[in-house]
């Protein structure tokens, strides 16, 4: 339900403004990818009436573009190799710069980190309002390429957003604090900055992220309409009773016509109750 909620918000915002809705399969971490998961996502989107524009972009096919962006930073001495493992850093709230002068351990795999300098990144979110973060103070030097040589989400998403001409991003508020890191990287690479909007994260009654509970039901194409209508309500769209018997296409058309991002709750999370 949480994934549907976010997808619907982004789709409505794009369509209500005459925009294109782009589909990208973020499959960088191929060893952890469940077989058939991407195909399952596409089937679900189609069953719920989503229509995307242009070709589907798959990150597994775009490694050369991430390599090029990384090289741009490397020649400017904006990166360094880090031998620290996740276990070594598990007690640190932020990366302290252990390997800035060189890897602390030899003959071990290294990750490539971006040298992040202190300074506030400020942006205005279309839902959450003003958000400010000193990336260096919050997380330190961020990983661009992991020790297993898989490019990090932050690097890939910044490169791909620019390549696809993304002008507006609508996503969950659990990624709100990632945005200043991406803006920092966009500025270094000379890339355009999209406008951002972060919808609340759906949570359990104890404020944990909505998990596999009876409130977080699997998306079922046979029940697409009632599930869509439930999400419309959570996004602040009050529906007429007649919509309960509408077609999927009619439901989307109604919601696009009614969309107003100002109606979306501004809290960082929204509890889902019985």
Give residue-wise pLDDT tens across range 83-102: 999 899 988 889 999 999 99
Q: Is residue 99 part of a domain?
A: no
Q: Give per-residue pLDDT as tens, 133-188.
A: 999 999 999 999 999 999 999 999 999 999 999 999 999 999 999 999 999 999 99
Q: Is residue 11 part of a domain?
A: yes
Q: Is residue 128 part of a domain?
A: no
Q: Is residue 194 part of a domain?
A: yes
Number of domains in the chain: 1
What is the predicted pLDDT for the residue at 223?
Answer: 82
What is the predicted pLDDT for the residue at 203?
Answer: 78
Q: Is residue 147 part of a domain?
A: no
Q: What is the mean pLDDT of residues 233-240?
A: 92
Q: Is 270's pLDDT higher than 70?
A: no
Do 160 and 28 meet the contact criterion of CB atoms below 8 Å apart?
Answer: no
Do 68 and 191 meet the contact criterion of CB atoms below 8 Å apart?
Answer: no
Average pLDDT, the chain: 91
User: Could you give phi then psi for residue 185, rounded to 5 degrees?
Assistant: -70, -40
The gap from C-alpha 216 to its chain's centroid, in whole angstroms, comes to 19
Read off the CATH number of the domain in which 160 is found.
Answer: 3.40.50.620
- Please give the residue range of the domain that contains residue 230: 2-74+152-271
Enter the DSSP assignment of 99: T
Could you give the CA distance from residue 119 to residue 137 in angstroms, rounded to a whole number?
Answer: 9
Q: Is residue 46 part of a domain?
A: yes
Q: pTM, whole model, 2 decimals?
A: 0.91
What is the predicted pLDDT for the residue at 211?
Answer: 56
User: Could you give phi then psi for residue 269, rounded to 5 degrees?
Assistant: -150, 155
Residues in Cβ contact with 213 at an 8 Å cutoff, skipping those fewer than 6 apart = 204
What is the predicted pLDDT for the residue at 217?
Answer: 53
Q: Is residue 115 part of a domain?
A: no
Q: Is residue 232 part of a domain?
A: yes
Do 13 and 168 meet the contact criterion of CB atoms below 8 Å apart?
Answer: yes
What is the predicted pLDDT for the residue at 221?
Answer: 65
């Amino acid at each position: 339900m949480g994934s549907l909620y976010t997808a619907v918000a982004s789709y409505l915002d794009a369509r209500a403004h005459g925009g294109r809705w782009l589909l990208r399969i973020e499959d960088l971490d191929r060893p952890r990818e469940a077989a058939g998961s991407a195909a399952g996502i596409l089937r679900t989107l189609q069953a719920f009436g989503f229509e995307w524009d242009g070709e589907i972009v798959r990150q597994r096919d775009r490694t050369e573009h991430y390599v090029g962006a990384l090289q741009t930073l490397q020649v400017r001495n904006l990166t360094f190799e880090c031998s620290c493992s996740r276990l070594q850093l598990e007690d640190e709230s932020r990366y302290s710069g252990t390997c800035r002068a060189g890897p602390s351990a030899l003959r071990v795999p290294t990750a490539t980190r971006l040298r992040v300098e202190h300074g506030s990144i400020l942006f205005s979110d279309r839902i959450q309002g003003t958000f400010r973060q000193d990336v260096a103070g919050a997380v330190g030097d961020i990983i661009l390429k992991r020790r297993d040589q898989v490019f990090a989400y932050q690097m890939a998403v910044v490169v791909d957003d620019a390549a696809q001409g993304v002008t507006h991003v609508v996503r969950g508020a659990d990624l709100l604090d990632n945005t200043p890191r991406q803006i920092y990287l966009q500025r270094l690479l000379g890339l355009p900055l999209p406008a951002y909007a972060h919808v609340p994260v759906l949570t359990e009654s104890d404020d944990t992220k909505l998990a596999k509970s009876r409130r977080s039901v699997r998306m079922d194409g046979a029940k697409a309409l009632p599930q869509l209508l439930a999400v419309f309500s959570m996004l602040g769209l009050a529906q007429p009773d007649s919509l309960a018997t509408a077609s999927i296409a009619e439901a989307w058309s109604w919601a696009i016509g009614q969309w107003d991002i100002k109606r979306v709750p501004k809290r960082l999370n929204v509890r889902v109750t019985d």
